[in-house]
Amino acid sequence: MDTMTILSLSVETAIGPVAAIYVLAAIGLNMHFGYTGLLNFGQVGFMLVGAYGVAVSVATFGLPLWMGFLVSLACSVVLALVLGIPTLRLRSDYLAISTIAVAEVLRLVYRAEFARPVTGGVYGRQSFADAFYDANPLPEGSLGVGRVDFSSDELWLMLVCWLLVAAGLAMMALLMNSPWGRVIKGIREDEDAVRSLGKDAFTYKLQSLVFGGVFGGLAGAMIALNQQNITPDQFMPQVTFYLWAMLLLGGVGTIWGPVIGPVIMWFMLTLFDETLRGMASTGVLPFLATSDSGPLRHALVGVGLMLLIVYRPQGLVGNRKEMLVNVK
């Protein structure tokens, strides 16, 4: 495992489908937290319903794939409404606790024994993405520059993901420059002021929650396509924390923040992982086992989250004046 391999592997991860999927989910989270000031710690719940929306409708009910996508989006909308209606009237930390609780409840329900006929229980669902890969117009074989190359299927998925990202970014930019976007940002700055101007803050927040949740659901659907095998236990709360760290790294409340954050973070994470693995396997670090690299990585994300939020809450590209994260 030499340096070049590690680097090219890191670059592959940074621009690969997984990073693009996280960008999608981070765009949704940015909508929630960056623009509206909602503390959503259950973004993974949206990803879960999104992924299972595709998987269950195709693998269990035999619907075509595009229907699966519609089901995914519908599920995320429903989840956002169910989450939002009870909690959006309350202080923001209540939303944080209930979102994380609901995401965890969903995971437990999807993996429960009684849900087995539909969701496959702990074993999840497999082989539902064939239609997507059959539609691949790219030529067979692997394509790439130098050591960085992708198989044709990966490239096809990447293309779709990044196109979705581009569409999402364009939509976000248009929305945020619209009157709707200004009200949303106003809610972040001072909800009472917005309310005193006669705007129904609750409805606006609910719309924002639904809108960002749909991005989460879309990301989940792409995860399903990417892995072609999903189990409930891959939607652990850690995923949300990773998303938060990525968003904060990129820059909260900016258009490009949710893109830059995941790309850089995946690059760094893979670099860290592979370097540590390489070093552990050569015995440079005698006190570390190879299997420790995962936990250490999580610990590092924790430290990063702390340092970022305290010393640089605006992230890499944010504007400190605009984003002091001073939501009460």
Partner 1 sequence: MRTRLVTVLLALIAATLAIPGTAAADTQGGASLFGQIRQPDSDEGVEGIDITVSQDGEQIGEATTDSDGNWEVELPGAGTYHVVLDEESVPEDYDAMQVPAGPERDVEVREDQRFAVVFQLVPAGQGQASASPSESESAEEDEESQQDSGSAGGGEEEGAIEAPEAASGSGMFGQVVSLVVAGLLFGLIIAISSVGLSLIFGTTRLINFAHGDMVTFGAIMAMIFSGTSTLAALHAPFEGIPGLGFATNPFVVATVLAVVCGGLLGWLMERFLWRPLRRRNVAMIQMFIVSIGFALLLRHVLLVVFDANRRKYVQFRIQDMIEIGPIAITPRDLGILVLSIVVLVLVASMLQFTRIGKAMRAVSDNRDLAESSGIDVARVTVYVWVLGGSLSALGGVFLGLNQSVYWQMGFHLLLLMFAAVILGGLGTAYGAMVGGLAIGLVAQLSTLWFSSQLMNVWALLIMIVVLLFRPQGILGRRERVG
Least distance from C-beta 275 to partner 1, angstroms?
6
Asked if 305 is part of the footprint of partner 1 (rule: CB under 8 A), the reply reads: yes
Asked if 54 is part of the footprint of partner 1 (rule: CB under 8 A), the reply reads: no
Asked if 40 is part of the footprint of partner 1 (rule: CB under 8 A), the reply reads: no
Least distance from C-beta 97 to partner 1, angstroms?
5
Asked if 296 is part of the footprint of partner 1 (rule: CB under 8 A), the reply reads: yes
Least distance from C-beta 137 to partner 1, angstroms?
21
Query: What does each C-alpha distance from 160 to 16, 151, 263, 288 come to in angstroms?
Result: 11, 14, 17, 39
Least distance from C-beta 70 to partner 1, angstroms?
25
- Binding to partner 1 in span 190-229, by CB under 8 A: 226-227, 229
Least distance from C-beta 226 to partner 1, angstroms?
7
Asked if 86 is part of the footprint of partner 1 (rule: CB under 8 A), the reply reads: yes
In terms of DSSP bridges, do strands 229-230 and 148-151 run parallel, antiparallel, or are they unpaired? unpaired
* Binding region for partner 1 (CB under 8 A) out of 104-112, 130-138, 159-167, 172-180: 104-112
Asked if 9 is part of the footprint of partner 1 (rule: CB under 8 A), the reply reads: yes
One of 139, 140, 291, 321 touching partner 1 (CB under 8 A): 291
- Binding to partner 1 in span 158-187, by CB under 8 A: none
* Binding region for partner 1 (CB under 8 A) out of 54-62, 81-89, 171-179, 211-219: 81-89
Asked if 319 is part of the footprint of partner 1 (rule: CB under 8 A), the reply reads: no
Asked if 30 is part of the footprint of partner 1 (rule: CB under 8 A), the reply reads: no
Least distance from C-beta 9 to partner 1, angstroms?
8
One of 81, 108, 143, 193 touching partner 1 (CB under 8 A): 108
Q: 76: number of CA atoms within 13 Å, CB side? A: 34
State which residue, 181 or 237, has the beta carbon closest to partner 1.
237
- Binding to partner 1 in span 259-288, by CB under 8 A: 268-271, 273, 275, 278-279, 281-282, 284
One of 100, 164, 187, 206 touching partner 1 (CB under 8 A): 100
- Binding to partner 1 in span 242-261, by CB under 8 A: 242, 244-245, 248
Least distance from C-beta 296 to partner 1, angstroms?
7
Per residue, the 3-state secondary structure of the chain, as one string, reads: CCHHHHHHHHHHHHHCHHHHHHHHHHHHHHHHHHHHCCCCCCHHHHHHHHHHHHHHHHHHCCCCHHHHHHHHHHHHHHHHHHHHHHHCCCCHHHHHHHHHHHHHHHHHHHHCHHHHHHHCHHHCEECCCHHHHHCCCCCCCEEEECCEEEEHHHHHHHHHHHHHHHHHHHHHHHHHCCHHHHHHHHHHHCHHHHHHCCCCHHHHHHHHHHHHHHHHHHHHHHHHHHHCEECHHHCCHHHHHHHHHHHHHHCCCCCCHHHHHHHHHHHHHHHHHHHHHHHHHHCCCCCCCHHHHHHHHHHHHHHHHHHHHHHCCCCCCCCCCCCCCCCC
Q: Choose among 188, 154, 197, 148: nearest CA to 18.
A: 154
Residues touching partner 1, count (CB under 8 A)? 88
